Amino acid sequence: MKITVVGGTGLIGSKLVTTLRRQGHEAVAASPNTGVNTLTGEGLAEVLAGAQVVVDVSNSPSFERAAVLEFFETSTRNLLAAEAAAGVGHHVAVSIVGTERMPDNGYFAAKIAQEQLIEKSGVPFSLVHSTQFFEFARGIADEATVDGMVHIAPVLFQPIAGDDVAEAVGRTAVGSPLNGRVEIAGPEQFRMDEFFRQALAAWGDPREVVTDQHARYFGSELSERSLVPVDDGAALGAIRYHDWLDRAATGE
């Protein structure tokens, strides 16, 4: 099966391409690095020729509210139009658990707009809603730092390893279109403030984690379940955070 992975040279995309090729599929990485630009349409017709499935794991270079909305709306429209012309039978997009719960978050609002375009496109689709990646934990801590202290709300948090995300997206890509969504999350659920307290200690980071009920997550105040799956039906990854840290430390 030919599967075109848009954003295929990035964190999740490169893992996904490797996973799919290992399974015997013709996985093609599409990104500006390979001559494909979803914002201009450059290279789309060529890379989609003969593809049965397209997986979109691309991301905006800017997280500024207007810029990220422009990226996801423009790139998604161009991609869906090219898929329709090429006869692609399954569009898979990665989104975020909880997008609809934080409409004041500019990035989440842009992902909602992307999903709405996909749902109305007429191309059979599957949406994979993931919790936060282990790989982004340091960035979350940095964003939450005020005067040298990391302010984190004591809400539920269930991050997932990038390798587990790639495995889940790969399973979805080779399956039948859901015309709906599936949620994925890590195998462990934490209190977010406790997770970061333990994580900073493991990193050898001296910053203090402050439990702050009103701490904002990239501009949004969180409720108890803002960042975790809606119900118990989520597909869970296998890799635990401290095991992932150990592997990262040894370069495995």
Average pLDDT of the chain, as a whole number: 95
Give residue 62's pLDDT band: very low, low, confident or very high (50, 70, 90). Answer: confident
Q: Where does the chain have alpha helices with state H? A: 11-22, 44-48, 65-86, 106-120, 137-143, 162-174, 192-203, 241-250
Answer whether residue 231 shows pLDDT above 80: no
User: What CATH number should be reported for the domain holding residue 200?
Assistant: 3.40.50.720
Answer whether residue 252 shows pLDDT above 60: no
Q: What is the DSSP letter of 94?
A: E
Distance CA 189, CA 208 (A): 21
Provide the number of structural domains found in the chain: 1
Which percentage of the chain shows pLDDT scores above 90? 89
Give residue 251's pLDDT band: very low, low, confident or very high (50, 70, 90). Answer: low
- Domain limits at 215? 2-250
pLDDT tens-digit map of 104-156: 889 999 999 999 999 999 999 999 999 999 999 999 999 999 999 999 999 99
Distance CA 232, CA 186 (A): 12
At residue 248, the pLDDT reads 81
Contacts of 24 (CB under 8 A, 6+ apart): none
Which percentage of the chain shows pLDDT scores above 70? 99
- Mean pLDDT, residues 73-95 taken together: 97
Segment 240-246 long-range contacts (CB within 8 Å, at least 24 positions apart): 240/186, 240/187, 240/188, 241/134, 241/159, 241/161, 241/186, 241/188, 241/195, 241/199, 242/202, 244/134, 244/161, 245/202
Helix (H, G, I), strand (E, B) or coil at 225: coil
Kind of pairing, strands 145-146 and 190-191?
unpaired
pLDDT tens-digit map of 24-58: 999 999 999 999 999 999 999 999 999 999 999 99
